[in-house]
């Protein structure tokens, strides 16, 4: 089995010391998802069936279970012992979790992933899906990456996605999707379906956000890895989305714009829907 070069592993979360929490980690999920209040304008002049009761429409994701894993947690920096505890991810042992990265002005990856994940959950639920998040807030510690995978497995999710953003050198740009590889383990049977999920998310993310493919990792925004517990331990189709580089000023500014985060959430919802309806 080919080991990945160390540089590839230095994606998110290795900037632990920089993630001291700056007060910008507040939960902003409350301002998510503007309701679709389309005006039924006065253009309906013809009196077409005013009394007709519309039958309940089947939503496109009725019956689907989706697990969203907002990367890291806003409280992780407070408990290094807990998050540095070594856990078994089958191909190696590694830390239970990490603090994640942050922008130059202190907007944390944990706050970003929490906000995007809640927006995404709202959109998917409106489309009929049953959605479960792997953490309940952005002020606590963990859970471990092993538990994050277990939550998707236990839910028998039709699809699971772990939401992250990266901490790469400032000049680097773009998003990428991380897809599991076979490891002679439980994930093997969902490697193919995870790949299809990853391709659907790549297409929808590029179209919906306009962000470029990663300039620094993977090939055409796809990176296949066997060192991530969240993927190695998954028995349901699962990928990670690294939404962009929080250290890049252009992307940092966009990630701090709620409207752009809504765009990201919509793109991810479309990608998931495309995969689930294919």
DSSP 3-state of 246:
coil
Q: Smaller CB distance to Zn ion: residue 164 or 238?
A: 164
CA 140 to chain centre: 18
Write phi, then psi, for 259 (nearest 5 degrees). Answer: -65, -35
CA distance 264 to 254: 10
Q: Smaller CB distance to Zn ion: residue 71 or 152?
A: 71
Q: Smaller CB distance to Zn ion: residue 13 or 271?
A: 13
Site map 85..124 versus Zn ion, x via CB under 5 A: ---------------x------------------------
Q: Smaller CB distance to Zn ion: residue 14 or 82?
A: 14
Site map 51..90 versus Zn ion, x via CB under 5 A: --------------------x-------------------
Write phi, then psi, for 199 (nearest 5 degrees). Answer: -65, -40
The DSSP letter of residue 164 is E
Q: Check if 242 is active-site.
A: yes
Q: Under the criterion CB under 5 A, does residue 148 sit at the interface with Zn ion?
A: no
Q: Under the criterion CB under 5 A, does residue 19 sit at the interface with Zn ion?
A: no
84 torsion bin: left (phi>0), alpha (psi -120 to 50), beta (else) = alpha
The DSSP letter of residue 239 is E
Q: Under the criterion CB under 5 A, does residue 201 sit at the interface with Zn ion?
A: no
Interface residue with Zn ion among 127, 135, 148, 164 (CB under 5 A) is 164
CA distance 10 to 73: 19
Q: Under the criterion CB under 5 A, does residue 174 sit at the interface with Zn ion?
A: no
Residue 92 CB neighbour total at 10 angstroms: 13
Binding site for Zn ion (CB under 5 A): 12, 71, 100, 164
**Catalytic site positions:** 242
């Amino acid at each position: 089995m080919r080991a990945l070069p160390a540089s590839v592993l230095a994606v998110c979360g290795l900037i632990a010391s920089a993630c001291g929490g700056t007060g910008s980690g507040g939960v902003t999920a409350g301002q998510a998802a503007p309701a679709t209040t389309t005006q039924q304008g006065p253009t309906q002049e013809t009196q077409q069936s005013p009394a007709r009761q519309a039958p309940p429409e089947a939503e496109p994701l009725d019956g689907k279970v989706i697990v969203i894993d907002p990367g890291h947690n806003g409280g992780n920096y407070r408990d290094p012992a807990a998050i540095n505890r070594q856990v078994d991810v089958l191909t190696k042992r590694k830390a239970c979790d990490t603090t994640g990265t942050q922008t130059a002005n202190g907007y944390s990856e944990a706050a970003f992933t929490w906000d995007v994940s809640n927006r995404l959950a709202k959109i998917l639920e409106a489309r009929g899906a049953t959605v479960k998040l792997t953490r309940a807030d952005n002020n606590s510690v963990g859970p471990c990456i092993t538990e994050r995978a277990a939550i998707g497995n236990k839910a028998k999710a039709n699809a699971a996605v772990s939401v992250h953003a990266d901490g790469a050198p400032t000049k680097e740009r773009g998003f990428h999707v991380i897809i599991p590889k076979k490891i002679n383990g439980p994930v093997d049977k969902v490697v193919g379906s995870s790949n299809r999920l990853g391709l659907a998310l790549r297409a929808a993310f590029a179209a919906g956000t306009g962000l470029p493919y990663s300039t620094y990792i993977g090939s055409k925004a796809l990176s296949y890895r066997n060192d991530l517990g969240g993927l190695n331990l998954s028995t349901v189709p699962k990928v990670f989305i690294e939404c962009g580089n929080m250290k890049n000023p252009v992307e940092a500014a966009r990630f701090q714009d709620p409207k752009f985060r809504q765009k990201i959430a919509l793109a991810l919802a479309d990608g998931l829907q495309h995969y689930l309806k294919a």
